[in-house]
Structure 1
């Protein structure tokens, strides 16, 4: 990805060097071409980098503005590109569980949630199993239990698999949903701490297969499971 920016404040070759050096230090920047005569900087990057992040890297003397692209549009495209795998998974699971309901005479909300959670846990555990060691190494970086008891990272992957099967066969709904509520409630604590502290670490939700950053998407994912399991526990009484 290549973007060109208008840069003001450059008056000499030394300014060119300072701007280039500062921008090259930004994560995901591959190369930078700077021209004081054209007041421009052309940046080649691995993925779109927000303008405010580039600006923060520069001394206050220099100001950057986008020339040929819209920042809002580019950031939206970057967000969807980053989270495309998890968005597709949720879309597929939602589609399949909704299609199942077409075989019923009426929409059954509890059954829909049970099937959704079965699909969620089975798919997510599958990706963790592809590289169990890689998942465990990422998970211990933020999970409150795994940080103290590393073996929990491995146990957690198999717990997700077991929960997926339990939801699929409708095994003792009260026990299954109660365990889900407890496990996901504990899991979200580490996620919240990481996001609130702005830690730049990899989310282990899809194992080590995809490099997904820890973000509000992870919080929503865990919170959704907590809400669904909580509702189903509530309706057991």
Structure 2
């Protein structure tokens, strides 16, 4: 059973994901497709759900309102149906490019040689530079739209769900970790902090993926529209594994 409702207050992609997240948690809802262009949301449900239930779910967010709506214009419906889904490569292209650049720079800087010496590769230097690049670049994208990131992050991070202000602090934690790796500040403390922060963050990601929640990944802030998937899990656990390896070496 599918119904389309009028939803007001959506002004950006973060708003759409907020509506999707909140309404998806209403019992009986199978999927939510927000559309800020038409001030609408199409909701698929197991059985009829009174509009009052959705209004109650949005009550903590007075910016948004939901009410009964007539069908969407035919022109919009046709455009939506004809839109071809992106391939995996096209979807994750921004993330893959960033990882490639960070990896390439880290490999180059990990080679050391004196005037009369043969260059040798340092795994420790590679991991240290990779971690620095990762945290600095990813925090940069999050800080471009701090509010948008915080709202997206609160949809799946366990702490941000309970304490929304944590979403505003998290990019600065990543920035601090990036600087710490860059200047090699207290390596043991920095690696332990990375394991704790990224390990805890991965819990919410894993739970969302296992629950098949179709929500936005906030790893690159609100700049790119990346879906939550196993790619996000790998990204978080890779940081944990590198930090653990640096402690063990």
Fold in common (TM above 0.5): yes
Distance in 2 (alpha carbons) for counterparts of 1:234 and 1:182: 16
| Correspondence for 1:82 among 91, 94, 116 | 91
Partners of 1:138 and 1:202 within 8 A in 2: yes
Find the partner of 1:44 among 63, 69, 82. Answer: 82
Counterpart residue number, 1:160: 174
Gap runs ≥5 in structure 2: 1-71, 114-118
Q: Which runs of 5+ in 1 are unaligned?
A: 1-24, 33-42, 49-77
Matches for 1:1-237 after TM superposition, within 5 Å: 31=78, 44-48=82-86, 78-104=87-113, 105-235=119-249
Alpha-carbon distance, 1:30 to partner: 5.4
2 CA distance for matches of 1:101 and 1:30? Answer: 53
CA distance in 2: counterparts of 1:169 and 1:47, whole angstroms: 43
- Does the 8 Å contact 2:109/2:125 carry over to 1? no
CA RMSD of aligned residues (A): 1.7
> 1 CA distance for matches of 2:188 and 2:236?
19
Separation in structure 2 between the aligned mates of residue 193 and residue 234 of structure 1, nearest angstrom: 28
* Counterparts of 2:165 and 2:244, CA distance in 1: 27
Instruction: Map Cα deviations across residues 74-120 of structure 1 (whole Å, 9 max, x no partner).
Output: xxxx1000000000000000011111123443111011000000000
Number of residues of Structure 1 aligned to a counterpart in Structure 2: 169
Name the residue aligned to 2:37: none
2:112, 2:122 within 8 Å by CA — same for their partners in 1?
A: no
Q: Name the larger-Rg structure.
A: 1
Q: CA deviation at 1:233?
A: 1.6
- Length-normalised TM-score, structure 1: 0.68
Instruction: Report the alpha carbon displacement of residue 44 of structure 1 after superposing the two structures with TM.
Output: 1.9
Give the equivalent residue in structure 2 for 1:73. none
Instruction: Give TM-score scaled by structure 2 length.
Output: 0.65
- Counterpart in 2 of 1:13? none
Q: Distance in 2 between matches of 1:30 and 1:97?
A: 47
